[in-house]
Amino acid sequence: ELHAGENQIEVLNAENLKHLNSLSVLELRDNKIKSVPDEITLLQKLERLDLANNDISRLPYTLGNLPQLKFLALEGNPLRTIRRDLLQVRTQELLKYLRSKIQADVTSPNEEPPVTAMTLPSESRINMHAITSLKLLEYSEKQAAVIPDDMFNAVRSNPVATVNFSKNQLNEIPPRIVELKDSVCDVNLGFNKISSISLELCMLQKLTHLDIRNNFLTSLPEEMEALTRLQIINLSFNRFKAFPSVLYRILALETILLSNNQVGSIDPLQLKQMDKLGTLDLQNNDLLQVPPELGNCETLRTLLLEGNPFRTPRAAILAKGTAAVLEYLRSRIPT
């Protein structure tokens, strides 16, 4: 069952429907959906479909072929192809009417062009002003499982510097992000369900800032070493049990945010090689000890270690700030 009523949804994406073929209940009432793609017929197990109070003007007649459908709600839509009185009849009669129109539709095509999921919806979905003047491609807070192709198509002739796909339901990094490799510097994929970094992302060689906090990452691929300009990476609130070793080899890094993971250890000798590193946030991890040699990482201006199970340095020393912590650690290096 999927209940997504009252969510300001404007587009029922054909691509999404392909993955929902075991749904029995789809409730989308009180949204702003303008069209229903033909792919709705892929939901062969659907028993209840509630599309009441949307902006739908035309329905695919093939809806009548859904074998299990027992309840169909369409009231409150500006439907042009179905008479008002038909909306009041029982679902089975409405489906029978839709089936009868399939044949008629083939013989005398409707005046109106068929509405497909690729029909560009309202301007609010693709903000051309942001693309052209701010060099920003944004599709965030949509609860989307995939980024629509329209978004990538829109930037083919307009290079963008910043991409924001945060706060969605993405399980993977959109493969087409590689098309932006010649221009994009800043990528935000935070607050999704991404469990691995794709090779396509590793090809964005101009990338300076990557925010992928609040996802399901457990490791980073060695291919990320190719991101030689990467200065800031935010990996907070993921599932890392170890410090990702590839980061030691991205020498342009200035800020590593790795709080709220399960990192158990760090290598101070490799960190010392990172001569641009100014901020290292390891709060709320599983560090059982802080190696004294970390005190030799003199480029560090901000070192955050609170919320780990180690005994030393004590909280009173941590509270004095980074310089005091580094000095304390240096004093503990065996001579």
Domain of 50?
2-107
Query: pTM, whole model, 2 decimals?
Result: 0.64
The C-alpha atoms of residue 180 and residue 163 are separated, in whole angstroms, by: 9
My answer on whether 81 and 38 are in the same domain is yes
In this predicted structure, what is the pLDDT of residue 319? 92
My answer on whether 197 and 319 are in the same domain is yes
Q: Is residue 7 part of a domain?
A: yes
User: CB–CB of 140/164 below 8 Å?
Assistant: yes
| pLDDT band of 103, cuts 50, 70, 90 | low
Peptide bond into 334 cis (omega under 30): no
The SS3 assignment for 68 reads coil
In the predicted structure, residue 230 carries a pLDDT above the cut 60: yes
The SS3 assignment for 84 reads helix
- Number of folded domains in the chain? 2
Render pLDDT for 7-54 as a digit per residue (tens, 0 to 9). Answer: 888 888 777 777 777 888 888 888 888 888 887 888 888 888 888 888
CATH for 178: 3.80.10.10
Q: Is residue 113 part of a domain?
A: no
